[in-house]
Chains A and B, each alone.
Chain A
């Protein structure tokens, strides 16, 4: 009662603050800026907020909050454009959306997929805010119940989603996830800083690979290359079917799925340390498990869009709990958000344990500004979706060079190193091969995303448990097997058993024909070789270091899986599903252009960049591509190129970013943007 007595007036104050025309104006301004930045994959909230920071100093707190929240809130909404239309995961929040959203776009139902996604986003955001309004009052003690063993179990639960997405040959999916985890361990270990699969002589890898690069490489590049080879538009249908109203109807027909996924989103978002990286996969898994006919998943099942999209906006609301109540950012953009709040006004808002007591009205304002920004952003996005969906009818050869431009730029922002582009190319090549041989790419990505938390929490939980066991056996057991852990174990086991049983029906990436033995076997042997070397590499770390345990365990388990696969490949005939190979028949085999010649274009961009810097290389690349590959005349190719370059420069100038320099820039001092 007492709680409500303080909460209601604060809620009233919050609405009074929000519903001033000038506050709403700032909110809309923030939303518009967020939409402009969010549609570009890999940039997202961090780039946007950094852009706003210089204006935050001394700004009226509620205005500054409206501007920043407007911007942050719409990123998980607007990144859906890239996921659905191009198959490019815009941010970690919309990776799962790619699985069914992009196939829908290919079938000519882009507008329907988009509006279903946006309706779900909007609803998720509102459910999240309503839930938070009550929950935030009691959140602190609940959140503190999630100790390291609980966090580890949630991470494992997230990993168990691999079971559903493993594909037709379960072990292949598991090895793919393991490979993702091993790639995730590259670099300095979190425990004692020992190096895995890297060396100080070659500093790039010591920081590990970034999610932006792996996400773009594993999903976007294979899709871009595959579409480009076929030389057609993204949509197979010349006429776009399914207007935006259909998508909203789809969402309404699945409203309970949307409710459940929103709750999943907000609850997982609340727990500090995991951030949003697993939420969309858990929601996707839930959508699959609760659907009767699973045969459409991966081919454009609208429930596969509604689930993750409902959860990812709700998660943003949940993420406010650790951010505001503990002062611990749930994501990179939240970290900047905290820093920016300190700049507002006279710095009187102090994020942390005092927030509820001293600034409950501000807390509520933040929660509901977020919800309101969702509404505004979604309405704009739905209104725009019909028009933007027409992109899928453009001949892809005209789009592709600009997509290469954008993803290269996005990848370069993660480390500001030419090696970012090399890594993007390398991971992209791995993605192409995984797609070709039907190795589950979602499983790989889940493994990669959760590799770091799984390792850290496992190491920490073991260490703390050891200390507890030294004090007493019971104390140790109590620590490890808390009620929450036991519940999570049960959920995880059930989900794995069900998932593996259902996995063969779910082809997250469509049906793939089988063919000869040679190519799939060579790829498997290469993967095995890498894993074996990773095992050897981890084993050579001194034995007292905790940094060796996790990669050795994962690599060891993967090697067993590889052994089983190799035996099966030797024994079975070449029509077995294990020999899946897209180059055998189907659209890849009949494509107009070869894989290597298409890939060579991207490689050329990379090599040119290393020689003469990004902008000069890009100009040459765009012109040559449009002229030769797309068959444009010299004049129109030149105009398109100029537009592309101008756009890129404007973008970089607005965000205050540089371009990758090449050898030329070492010798000649060129003005920006050339140098």
Chain B
């Protein structure tokens, strides 16, 4: 019976979507591409198991409904070399009929920014149609957090910290650089397979400082905070329209790193180090995941996809269904996505040089 119901629900959904699409086509008037009967391949340069997979699996069915002609949208995983393999593959593809899109992540952006020798791709060649942001929260064990004096982290400066690190050149460079600026002595234990492993290490009492992206924090750390074993330390913050760091709207009660830094001895919110941190924060979090059309995509195709993602965002239930699965982050299209892309993939040469040197000095990582 229920199976019947499900089928009926699907059918009704299709009818509704078709009606919506019909309306939209009338509205868009001629320009735009029709993908009826086609299959859109969405390349994710990671394995089926990562955060990008969750993100793409969330959007794929919605995108399928919103695109004109309701094409099937399949997510195709192409893991390898920390996402550079899939990105290099996408770089070689040229635009045909709008049935190929690509989802990048912070782990695709960082090697590009740092001049990793394996990178053969160039963001400037691609056409962004969606940018999804996220945030990050650092947290401490209860007794350690007690040593902070309000926003002032000076009390933590003499301690030894252990942090489960996924890799020196990964997104983890944002927290490790931040802690170093606060004067914290954090030793990175490498070889963590995902941030979940890092949290487990924290729960086992082996690591005594950690960070999670916002959605993982909400699911994995909030229960620990409620149980009294963990205390949030700071968020990385969010960007306002002018590009200033402000409190993360998901965590309005938790101070940002900027506030903590200002209150802490020896931490500066200006100068070379701060600029480098901010540049990499902007590249890694506020526009962490983006959807691209390949080099040479027609304007029609860009407009069609942008419209489709806007329609997805405009769904009445979007806040509800995305809140639980993606967190409350900005999902940017059009102009805003362009701006996000620019800030995420253009880092001042000085900031890049600083981080490259810092990685060499601190971890012995050579990006040659």
Contacts and interface: CB of A to CB of B under 8 A. Distances in A.
A54 B204 CA distance: 36
B48 A326 contact: no
B162 interface: yes
A464 B61 contact: no
Given A193-B169, A343-B325, A352-B223, A464 B206 contact: yes
Contacts of B320: 346
Interface in B328-352: none
B85 A544 contact: no
A158 interface: no
Contact of A328 (B1, B81, B197): B197
Given A339-B49, A542-B364, A54 B60 contact: yes
Contacts of B190: 190-192, 459-460, 546
A467 B196 contact: no
Contacts of B62: 57
Contact of B162 (A192, A340, A417, A464): A464
B53 A336 contact: yes
Contacts of A332: 47-49
A229 B204 CA distance: 54
A43 interface: no
Contact of A467 (B160, B204, B325): B160
A592 to B, nearest CB: 42
Interface in A356-379: 357
A53 interface: yes
Contacts of A545: 364
B27 interface: no
Interface stretch (B28-36, B72-80, B102-110, B147-155): B72-80
Interface string A455-478: 110011001100100110000000
Interface stretch (A90-98, A199-207, A384-392): A199-207
Interface residues of A, number: 65
Nearest to B61: A57
B310 interface: no
A348 interface: yes
A245 B38 CA distance: 51
Given A332-B48, A339-B57, A354-B219, A467 B187 contact: yes
B60 A192 contact: no
Given A59-B6, A467-B162, A346 B324 contact: yes
Contacts of A460: 189-191
Given A203-B85, A206-B81, A456 B49 contact: no
A556 interface: no
Contacts of A26: 3
A192 B364 contact: yes
Contact of B204 (A56, A144, A193, A347): A144
B191 A191 contact: yes
B100 to A, nearest CB: 13
A471 B158 CA distance: 12
A201 B123 CA distance: 23
A573 interface: no
B222 to A, nearest CB: 8
Nearest to A414: B79
A326 B220 CA distance: 7
B191 A200 contact: no
B219 A352 contact: yes
Contacts of B76: 656
B203 interface: yes
Contact of A54 (B48, B61, B187): B61
Given A273-B197, A459-B191, 8 more contacts: A46-B48, A54-B61, A58-B321, A144-B203, A146-B204, A343-B57, A350-B324, A545-B364
What 6 A-B pairs are tightest by C-beta distance, nearest first?
A347-B324, A335-B49, A190-B191, A353-B223, A456-B191, A191-B190
14 contacts: A22-B1, A22-B3, A50-B77, A148-B206, A192-B363, A193-B168, A193-B365, A203-B85, A326-B203, A328-B199, A329-B196, A350-B324, A416-B78, A470-B160
